[in-house]
């Protein structure tokens, strides 16, 4: 029967599995922005790209440590320790390479430091569990350790696939209808590109209804590109104060606008109907 400490360990492990998935998702969005900054030859692009890569590795280690702790695996402590060292190294590097440029970034950095302190406490707790013999013993068979590693790898792969999944099912379910099909689901004759909060950036210019990018017969690559571009915009929405929504960084704003113009040109090459381009803005 599990002790109270072991139950607590499993709950803490579940929390860090969730935290790892959240950070992986955030880094997936950041990589889109990194590509846009690189396209504009922004001086900060290499450092931002390095930041995304380092944090992605940290997210993988965080998720893996959570899985190992949920399994009460003896691998939990070395993985927690490796993750803590990785996070600490990132904070030391970021302090010099990426100093906060405004109050929002300063608050974000402080939150990251606070999360690191909490993770150090969790690492100390895992070390105590190992010392008390509350994790499974290292003396178990090699196959049991291999199973633990396989479960950790499967969890990371599953999270990665879920986050980066190609929405092929959505594309299949929303296969384009033939032009001229009667009813409101027919393909629009005039398409409008105009991002708005919490909805598709594409619209039927005649009816004003939003249109899924997967209903237009576009190449899957372009549909995904439009989705990723719009994700960077939607991520800037401030629920507490919508008036403060939008990009706060001028470089990110210009990168977003440049990608929007490139997408408009790509749409003109694939969309056979009329295309209207709304005013592309990068603030609320």
Find all residues with CB under 8 Å of 153, minimum gap 6, and list them: none
List phi, psi (to 5°) of 254: -65, -35
Token reading at 94: 């970021």
Mean pLDDT of 77-102: 91
User: Which of 163, 178, 208 is where one domain is finished?
Assistant: 163
> What's the pLDDT score for residue 176?
42
The reply to whether 284 falls in a domain is no
Instruction: Say whether both 95 and 175 belong to one domain.
Output: no
The reply to whether 26 falls in a domain is yes
User: Is a pLDDT exceeding 50 seen at residue 183?
Assistant: no
Confidence of residue 121 (pLDDT cuts 50, 70, 90): very high
User: Which of 123, 141, 163 is where one domain is finished?
Assistant: 163
> What's the pLDDT score for residue 45?
56
Instruction: Say whether both 193 and 59 belong to one domain.
Output: no
Question: What domain count does the chain have?
Answer: 2
Instruction: Say whether both 135 and 157 belong to one domain.
Output: yes
Mean pLDDT is lowest, of 41-50, 115-124, 131-140, 178-187, for 178-187
Range(s) of the domain holding residue 211: 170-277
pLDDT, tens digit, 9 for 90 and up, residues 145-169: 999 999 999 999 999 888 766 444 4
The reply to whether 283 falls in a domain is no
The reply to whether 50 falls in a domain is yes
Instruction: Say whether both 135 and 8 belong to one domain.
Output: yes
User: Which of 116, 140, 163 is where one domain is finished?
Assistant: 163
Q: Tell me which of 179 and 254 has the higher pLDDT.
A: 254
Q: For the full predicted model, state whether its pTM sits above 0.75.
A: no
- From CA 78, how far away is CA 213, in angstroms rounded? 45
Token reading at 70: 């949920």
- Cβ atoms within 10 Å of 234's Cβ, excluding its own: 16
The reply to whether 282 falls in a domain is no
**Averaged confidence pLDDT in the chain:** 82
Instruction: Say whether both 69 and 150 belong to one domain.
Output: yes
């Amino acid at each position: 029967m599990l002790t109270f400490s072991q139950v607590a360990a499993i709950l803490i492990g579940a929390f860090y599995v969730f935290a790892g998935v959240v950070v992986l998702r955030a880094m997936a969005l950041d990589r889109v922005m990194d590509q846009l900054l690189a396209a504009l030859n922004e001086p900060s692009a290499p450092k931002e790209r390095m930041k995304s890569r380092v944090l992605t590795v940290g997210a993988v280690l965080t998720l893996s440590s959570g899985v190992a702790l949920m399994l009460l695996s003896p691998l939990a402590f070395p993985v927690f320790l490796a993750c803590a060292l990785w996070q600490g190294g990132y904070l030391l590097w970021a302090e010099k390479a990426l100093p906060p440029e405004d109050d929002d970034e300063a608050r974000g950095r402080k939150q990251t430091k606070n999360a690191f302190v909490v993770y150090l406490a969790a690492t100390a707790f895992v070390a105590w569990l190992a010392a008390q013999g509350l994790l499974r013993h290292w003396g178990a068979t090699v196959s049991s350790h291999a199973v633990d590693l396989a479960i950790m790898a499967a969890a990371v792969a599953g999270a990665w696939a879920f986050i980066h999944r190609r929405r092929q099912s959505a594309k299949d379910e929303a296969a384009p209808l033939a032009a001229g099909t009667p009813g409101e689901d027919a393909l629009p004759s005039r398409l409008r590109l105009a991002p708005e909060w919490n909805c598709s950036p594409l619209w039927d210019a005649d009816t004003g209804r939003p249109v899924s990018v997967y209903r237009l017969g576009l190449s899957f690559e372009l549909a995904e590109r439009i989705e990723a571009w719009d994700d960077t915009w939607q991520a800037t929405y401030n629920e507490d104060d919508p008036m403060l929504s939008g990009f706060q960084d001028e470089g990110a704003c210009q990168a977003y606008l440049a990608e929007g113009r490139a997408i408009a040109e790509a749409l003109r090459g694939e969309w056979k109907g009329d295309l209207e381009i709304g005013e592309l803005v990068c603030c609320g």
